[in-house]
Amino acid sequence: MSLVVIGTVAFDAIETPFGKTDKILGGAATYASLAASYLYKKTKIVAVVGDDFHKEDIKEIADHGINVEGLQIKAGEKSFFWSGKYHNDMNSRDTLVTELNVLADFDPIIPESYQDCEYLMLGNLTPQIQQTVIKRMHKRPKLIVMDTMNFWMDIAMDDLLETIKLVDVLTINDAEARQLSGEYSLVKAAKKILGMGPKFLIIKKGEHGALLFHGDQIFSAPALPLAEVFDPTGAGDTFAGGFIGYLAKVGTINFSNMKNAIIFGSALASFCVEKFGTEKIKNLSQDEIASRVKEFVSLSSFTI
């Protein structure tokens, strides 16, 4: 049994009101697998990079116990590159550059040793490739979680709708939920999106937490109020990795475990934003995670 994460492994260049980075380790699969690795040991990655990628960065991922057999390194090609600049409120950002490079003709290879996959995290990537990965699994995983973004809604909506049909859980942010459904009310949006195929929908609302929808049930999770948000890049992917990592660890899929999974995802995401890039989530201890989860519990616990 294992957890397979697919997505980008990338170079990011980030600019926030606190500073600017050159090309650093990033990518949806990087954040998601690092987050998952704290909760579940058998995490495996499927991705592609060019031969310009730094060996130390791959080692960093592998050192977290993440299986990198499915990480292809393409000779003579350049890695996916993304660059973004955050506005002063840190809630919104402009994408400055998206260079698909090696991703343009990525053909995901699923190593034989990954065919024991029970939990599949489809990190942000071309919906067509996400779908290919599902089809290349000999046995349908027990749980398929999919993350996506407005970029793919703009350029590949039909593929996206096809892929959404095949998954159990979709995670998107509020603006994306509105774009996907054409509804402003998130409750109406959720109803429409659940009609598109997934059984569970998570709408991420940044510093305002996250909502989980399933049939008529709704769970609202808080975000930890932080004095300083340094860099929100990868928070969504970290959330998704923590979410599925927790479910893989407990092994039973139900609404109650999903609620806890959201809290673990939110706790890991709250670390992610405290430093640039992957700096903080690369170096967490189990104690830190446990006490952050406790903070979440006390944050919104009350009796009447």
Based on the shown chain and the rule CB under 6 A, indicate whether residue 57 belongs to the binding site for ligand AMP.
Answer: no
Q: Which is nearer to ligand AMP, 179 or 257 (CB)?
A: 179
Residue ranges in 3-22 that form contacts with ligand AMP under rule CB under 6 A? 8, 10, 12
Q: Which is nearer to ligand AMP, 67 or 126 (CB)?
A: 126
Q: Which residues contact 86 (CB under 8 A, 6 or more apart)?
A: 14, 15, 16, 17, 92, 93, 231, 232
Per-position x/- string for 228-257, each x denoting binding to ligand AMP as judged by CB under 6 A, each - no binding: -----xxxxx--------------------
Give burial (CB, 10 Å; 0-12/13-18/19+) of 63. exposed
φ, ψ for residue 171, nearest 5 deg: -120, 125
- Residue tagged 């942010």 (tokens): 173
For the chain, the distance separating the N- and C-terminal CA atoms, rounded to the nearest angstrom, is: 42
Of the residues 4, 13, 27, 40, which one makes contact with ligand AMP according to CB under 6 A: 27
Closest separation in Å from C-beta 152 to ligand AMP: 7
Question: How many residues at the interface with ligand AMP, by CB under 6 A?
Answer: 17
Q: Which is nearer to ligand AMP, 131 or 233 (CB)?
A: 233
Q: Which residues pair with 71 in a beta bridge?
A: 47
Closest separation in Å from C-beta 48 to ligand AMP: 12
Q: Which is nearer to ligand AMP, 90 or 289 (CB)?
A: 90
Based on the shown chain and the rule CB under 6 A, indicate whether residue 82 belongs to the binding site for ligand AMP.
Answer: yes
Q: Which is nearer to ligand AMP, 200 or 239 (CB)?
A: 239
Q: Which residues contact 15 (CB under 8 A, 6 or more apart)?
A: 21, 83, 84, 85, 86, 96
Q: Residue 89 is encoded by which pair of tokens?
A: 């409120």
Q: Is the dihedral of CA 179, 200, 126, 172 positive or negative?
A: positive
Based on the shown chain and the rule CB under 6 A, indicate whether residue 265 belongs to the binding site for ligand AMP.
Answer: no
Helices (H), the chain: 28-37, 55-63, 127-136, 150-155, 157-164, 174-181, 186-194, 235-250, 255-272, 286-299
Q: Which is nearer to ligand AMP, 42 or 58 (CB)?
A: 58
Q: Which is nearer to ligand AMP, 50 or 236 (CB)?
A: 236
Q: Which residues contact 10 (CB under 8 A, 6 or more apart)?
A: 25, 26, 27, 28, 30, 49, 79, 80, 81, 82
Distance CA 94, CA 39 (A): 32
Distance CA 5, CA 33 (A): 6
Closest separation in Å from C-beta 53 to ligand AMP: 12
Of the residues 68, 137, 151, 175, which one makes contact with ligand AMP according to CB under 6 A: 151
Which residue, 198, 196, 195, 200, is CA-closest to 214? 200
Of the ranges 26-34, 44-52, 159-167, 249-257, which one interacts with ligand AMP (CB under 6 A)? Answer: 26-34
Of the residues 4, 26, 77, 296, which one makes contact with ligand AMP according to CB under 6 A: 26
Based on the shown chain and the rule CB under 6 A, indicate whether residue 172 belongs to the binding site for ligand AMP.
Answer: no
Contacts to ligand AMP by CB under 6 A = 8, 10, 12, 26-28, 82, 98, 124-125, 149, 151, 233-237
